[in-house]
C-alpha cells in the first residue's frame, strides 16, 4: 500500500503483522497452559491443531513481553549481581524438560542462584498495572493461578524445589518478586489433568461458543467452527503413546499417515 499520511503508517504496520506466516503448532502440552481450565485446549495443543493467528496488537504484546524478559535477566545479572543461566549450556537454547515421551514439555526462562546457594527455576512475567497490583497484594497463587500452575509443573519436571517468580510492571517498570515453593497437592492435580487429556477424556470448558473464554481462545476455529485438522494427530482414533508418538486405535499400529478411517477429533461436551 502507498503510505501517504500518519494513519497509513499504522495500517501498514498492522498489515505487516497480518501477512506474517502462522507459527507451526505445538505438538505437546506445555507447562505454560497446563493451568488452563479448558482441557479441550490442552488436547488441541497436544494434537498439533492449527491455531488462529492473534491480531496485530496482541502479537506486539507477546513480542514486547519477550523483550522485557531479556531486560529483566540483564538487571538480575548486571544490577543485582545474581547468577542466571538463561540458556542451556549444552544446547544454547532455553532450559527444557519433558515427560511422557515428549507429550508434556516445559521451557524455562532460566535457572537462578541467589546468595543462599540454592538453584531455582527462574520465571519472568510482564504485567499491566492492574495485574501487577493483584500479584503484589495476594501473591501469584491467588493473583495468577495459571502462572502458579506453570511454575509448579516446571519444578516437578526439573526436580527443583523452588522458583524465583519475578514480574515487571509494564506501566511504570516496578519489580515484584516471590519465592514459590513446590506444592505436591497442586502438582498431583495438574498431572491428573494431563492424564485425562492423554486418555482422551478432554472436555470443553463450555457448550456455548459465545462464552468469553471460547471467544478468546486461539483454537476456536478448530473447536467450534469446523476448521479441518487433517492429520493423524487430528484423528479421533489416534492415541498418544509412551514413545512420544501416536498409535491408531483401529489398527494398533503407529499412526503415520492419514487414512480412509480418519475421523476428526472432537473434545467432549461439558457435562
CATH number of domain containing 157: 3.90.320.10
Distance separating alpha carbons of residues 119 and 87, to the nearest angstrom: 14
Distance separating alpha carbons of residues 97 and 93, to the nearest angstrom: 12
For residue 161, what pLDDT is reported? Answer: 97
Does residue 4 surpass a pLDDT of 80?
A: no
Structural domain span for residue 50: 26-226
Burial of 22 by CB count in 10 Å (0-12 exposed, 13-18 middle, 19+ buried)? Answer: exposed
Answer whether residue 171 is part of any domain: yes
For residue 264, what pLDDT is reported? Answer: 95
For residue 3, what pLDDT is reported? Answer: 78
Task: Please report, to the nearest 10 degrees, the dihedral formed by the alpha carbons of residues 230, 235, 238, 242 taken in order.
Answer: 60
163: confidence class by pLDDT, cuts 50, 70, 90: very high
Does residue 77 surpass a pLDDT of 90?
A: yes
Answer whether residue 19 is part of any domain: no
Mean pLDDT of 24-51: 96
Q: Is 203 left (phi over 0), alpha (psi -120 to 50) or beta?
A: beta
177: confidence class by pLDDT, cuts 50, 70, 90: very high
Distance separating alpha carbons of residues 102 and 113, to the nearest angstrom: 27
20: confidence class by pLDDT, cuts 50, 70, 90: confident
Answer whether residue 221 is part of any domain: yes
Distance separating alpha carbons of residues 33 and 166, to the nearest angstrom: 19
For residue 6, what pLDDT is reported? Answer: 87
Answer whether residue 263 is part of any domain: no
In the chain, DSSP finds a helix count (H) and a strand count (E) of 9, 10
Answer whether residue 12 is part of any domain: no
196: confidence class by pLDDT, cuts 50, 70, 90: very high
Does residue 241 surpass a pLDDT of 90?
A: yes
Residue 261 has a CB neighbour count (10 Å cut-off) of 12
Distance separating alpha carbons of residues 214 and 225, to the nearest angstrom: 11
**Mean pLDDT, the chain, integer:** 95
For residue 115, what pLDDT is reported? Answer: 94
Instruction: Render pLDDT for 89-111 as a digit per residue (tens, 0 to 9).
Output: 889 999 999 999 999 999 999 99
Q: How many domains does the chain have?
A: 1
**pLDDT more than 70, % of the chain:** 100
Mean pLDDT of 63-86: 96
Distance separating alpha carbons of residues 147 and 3, to the nearest angstrom: 41
123: confidence class by pLDDT, cuts 50, 70, 90: very high
Distance separating alpha carbons of residues 44 and 27, to the nearest angstrom: 8
Which string of b and e fits 182-213 if b means at least 16 CB within 10 Å? bbeebbeebbebbeebbeeebbbbbeeeebee
Answer whether residue 3 is part of any domain: no
Answer whether residue 256 is part of any domain: no
For residue 238, what pLDDT is reported? Answer: 96
**pLDDT more than 90, % of the chain:** 89
Nearest-5° angle of CA 257, CA 29, CA 26? 55
Range of weakest confidence among 14-18, 95-99, 159-163, 244-248: 14-18
Answer whether residue 260 is part of any domain: no
SS3 content of the chain, % helix, strand, coil (to 5): 40, 20, 45
Amino acid at each position: 500500500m502507498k503510505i501517504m499520511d500518519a494513519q497509513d503508517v499504522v495500517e501498514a504496520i498492522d498489515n505487516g503483522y497480518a501477512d506474517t506466516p502462522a507459527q507451526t503448532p505445538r505438538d505437546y502440552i506445555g507447562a505454560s497452559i497446563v493451568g488452563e481450565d479448558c482441557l479441550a485446549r490442552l488436547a488441541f495443543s497436544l494434537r498439533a491443531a492449527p491455531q488462529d493467528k492473534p491480531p496485530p496488537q496482541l502479537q506486539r504484546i507477546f513480542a514486547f513481553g519477550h523483550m522485557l524478559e531479556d531486560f529483566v535477566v540483564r538487571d538480575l545479572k548486571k544490577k543485582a549481581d545474581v547468577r542466571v543461566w538463561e540458556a542451556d549450556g549444552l544446547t544454547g537454547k532455553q532450559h527444557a524438560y519433558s515427560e511422557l515421551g515428549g507429550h508434556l514439555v516445559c521451557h524455562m526462562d532460566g535457572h537462578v542462584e541467589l546468595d543462599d546457594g540454592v538453584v531455582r527455576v527462574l520465571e519472568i512475567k510482564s504485567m499491566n498495572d492492574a495485574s501487577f497490583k493483584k500479584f503484589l497484594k495476594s501473591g501469584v497463587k491467588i493473583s495468577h493461578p495459571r502462572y502458579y500452575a506453570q511454575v509448579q509443573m516446571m519444578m516437578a519436571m526439573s526436580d527443583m524445589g523452588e522458583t524465583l517468580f519475578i514480574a515487571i510492571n509494564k506501566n511504570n517498570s516496578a519489580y515484584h518478586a516471590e519465592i514459590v515453593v513446590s506444592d505436591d497437592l497442586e502438582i498431583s492435580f495438574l498431572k491428573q489433568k494431563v492424564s485425562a487429556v492423554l486418555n482422551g477424556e478432554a472436555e470443553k470448558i463450555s457448550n456455548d461458543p459465545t462464552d468469553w473464554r471460547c471467544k478468546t481462545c486461539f483454537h476456536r476455529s478448530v473447536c467450534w467452527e469446523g476448521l479441518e485438522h487433517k492429520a493423524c494427530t487430528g484423528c479421533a482414533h489416534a492415541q498418544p503413546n509412551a514413545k512420544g508418538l501416536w498409535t491408531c486405535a483401529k489398527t494398533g499400529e503407529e499412526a503415520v499417515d492419514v487414512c480412509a478411517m480418519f475421523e476428526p477429533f472432537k473434545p467432549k461436551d461439558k457435562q
